[in-house]
Amino acid sequence: MLGRRHEIARFASDFYQQQFRKIMRWLIIAIIVMILLLGMIFYLLISQPEQYYYANTTEGQILAMPPYVLEKSSQ
């Protein structure tokens, strides 16, 4: 009787160990993917090109607008 209980406990222990290891592998893969995605987001934020603005006239002509620069007032 006692041998049978130990055998069942060992099988259950092996099952839970295998499932734990499988979940840990998936969690590590998920963490690596998240780090890669965060790196891509930071890269896109840092290497963002300069924005250009345009305006339309009532006749449909497109005009490039100069960038707005704050000037220091000279006193």
pLDDT tens column, 28-68: 999 999 999 999 999 999 998 877 888 898 888 998 888 77
DSSP state of 74: P
pLDDT for res 68: 73
Rg (CA), the chain: 31
pTM exceeds 0.85 for this model: no
Mean pLDDT score, 4-33: 91
d(C-alpha 36, C-alpha 42), whole Å: 10
Q: Confidence band (pLDDT; 50, 70, 90) for 12?
A: confident
> What is the rounded CA–CA span in Å between residue 41 and residue 68?
27
